[in-house]
Each structure stands twice: as C-alpha cells, then as structure tokens.
Amino acid sequence: MARTKQIGRFGAFGLSVRLAGEFQALEALANQLQGLFMGGDYDVAEAAVLVSEVRARVDEAVAQLDRLGARVGCATDADTPRLDPDAVAAPAGFRGSCRAIAVADLLGLLSTQRKTGTLRIQSGALRFVLEFQDGAVVHAATNSPKPERRIGTILVAQQSLSATALEDFLREHTPDCGPLGAALARASLVEEQDLIDALGIQVHDLIRQVLELDDGSFHFEVGPVQDLEFRVSLNTMQLLLDAARVRDESRV
C-alpha cells in the first residue's frame, strides 16, 4: 500500500508540474495580449491568434486537472469520465475560422513569428496541409490537386522528364514507392534540383488556392514537420507577394 501511494504521489507531482507549465504559458500569453492592446491601434488578426492560443492552453490546463483528479481519485463529478493519467498531452497550437482571420494574415503571422508546425485548413470538401519550419513553407498538399499541378505533369512541362518515361514509370509505380517525385529521383529519372523546382511550383499554386478561401476553418499544431526526402524551403512573405502579383495580373 505504501509503495502504491509513493508511485501515485510521484505521478501526481509530475502532473502538477505540467499544470504549472500551462499556467506559466497562460501568463505569458496574457502579457502579450496586454502589450498588444496597450499600443493603441492593434492588429486584429494577431489578437485573434493569441486568443486562440489562450483558449487552447486553457483547454489543456483543464485536461491536466482531469488527469490529476483521476490520479488522486477526487474527480469533481462522479459521472465525468476519467482520463488516462498517462495520456500524452495534446500538442500546443491554435484553431479558428477563416472568416475571423484572413488566410493571408494567418500565414503572415506564422512567418513573422517563425513558427514550426503543421497548418490544416478545411473549406467544405477541400482540405489543405501546409508545413512550416521556422516560418518558411517546406511542404504543401491538398486532397484535390489540379491535374496540371501533379508533380509528374509539372516535370514533363519543365522538360525535366519525357511523357513516355513518366508513363512507363507510372505503370510500375506503387504506393509502396512513396511520393512519385522522390521515387523518380531515386530512379535517376529526374535531377534533384528539377524536382525541388517542381515542388516549388506546386507550393506556389497551393498558396494561391488557399488565399482564395473566404470560408472554412484552420488548425495549427506546433511541432516537428515530416522528415521528407525532398522538400522546399520557401519564404512565406515572398509567397504571399507572388500570389498577390499573380492575382493582380489576372485582373488586368
């Protein structure tokens, strides 16, 4: 019995340390909000992102309290399901609406704050995934890619790969080979730099698509990005400027 109490005390101590960490993070975010509002005119998009981060931290603090209550057997409501005390805490991040925060403002904030993590955007049946490393876009994907923006089509259009070679490879290519571009590079059918250039074209097009969204929701998770064999590293602010230029030119 004494040993059980000892183990339980150590577990509860660890949870209380995590809880203290959430409170410290909340205090830091509250200080950021105060500084933002004390400056007179403030960036509404930045304030909205900070509020979303506060909400996420509050939710995590409540979850830590539930775990602590389950550990020591003092849940506030007997009907409340107890969480697994050893469950892994959810990654830090924030979520919101694309109506409340324009996608361009959101991407700009992720860039200026040098965020690393994954941004997921959903608008109806459309889903987009953007990965950031220190504020730069390193990967982008969608569940509904345009046929002309598939990696093989881009490589052929760049004359980095012949249409015949692509067709022959696709007949043998299986999902086990991984992403098509990487498989083509491993087979020495395309040069690595040509592949990186093609991936860059894909990212530029996807950024233009997400900037056209005026409805939907987003969720940004802080954390490491995928360890991809080939990826780009594009300045987010430059991507936004390029997208704005293309949009303006299309209106002429």
pLDDT in the model for residue 80: 45
pLDDT confidence band for 119 (50 / 70 / 90): very high
pLDDT in tens, 215-245: 889 999 999 998 888 999 999 999 999 999 8
pLDDT given for residue 78 in this prediction: 46
* CA pair distance 133, 117, nearest whole angstrom: 7
Q: How far is Cα 84 from Cα 108, in angstroms, rounded to an integer?
A: 38
Q: Spell out the alpha helix ranges (H) of 99-229.
A: 103-112, 151-157, 163-172, 180-186, 192-211
Q: Tens digits of per-residue pLDDT, 32-62?
A: 777 776 655 666 666 777 777 788 778 878 8
- Secondary structure element (H or E) that encloses residue 89, with its range: none
How much is the pLDDT for 203? 95
The average confidence (pLDDT) of the chain is 81
Which is it for the CA torsion 56, 62, 65, 71, positive or negative?
A: negative
Task: Output the pTM of the full model.
Answer: 0.65
pLDDT of residue 238: 95
Instruction: Decide if 249 contacts 217 (C-beta within 8 A).
Output: no
> Are 239 and 205 contacting, i.e. CB atoms less than 8 angstroms apart?
no
> pLDDT digits over 15-31, tens only?
676 777 778 777 777 77
User: Residue with structure tokens 């015949």?
Assistant: 164
Q: What is the structure's pLDDT at 79?
A: 45
Highest mean pLDDT among 142-151, 199-208, 241-250: 199-208
Report the pLDDT value the prediction gives residue 27, as an integer from 0 to 100. Answer: 79
Q: Report pLDDT for 90.
A: 41
Question: Would you call 217 exposed, middle or buried from its count of C-beta atoms within 10 A (0-12, 13-18, 19+)?
Answer: middle
Tell me the average pLDDT across 97-122.
Answer: 91
Has residue 201 got a pLDDT over 80?
A: yes
Helices and strands (DSSP H and E) totals, the chain: 8, 5
Note the pLDDT of residue 114.
92
* pLDDT for position 100: 80
Give φ, ψ of 5 to 5 degrees: -65, -35
Does the pLDDT of residue 252 top 70, yes or no?
no
Between 119-123, 175-179, 244-248, the lowest mean confidence (pLDDT) is in 175-179
Euclidean distance between CA atoms 180 and 159, whole angstroms: 17
The pLDDT tens digits of the residues spanning 62-94 come to 877 777 777 666 655 444 444 443 444 444 678
Give the domain ranges of the chain: 2-90, 117-251
Quote the pLDDT of residue 1.
46
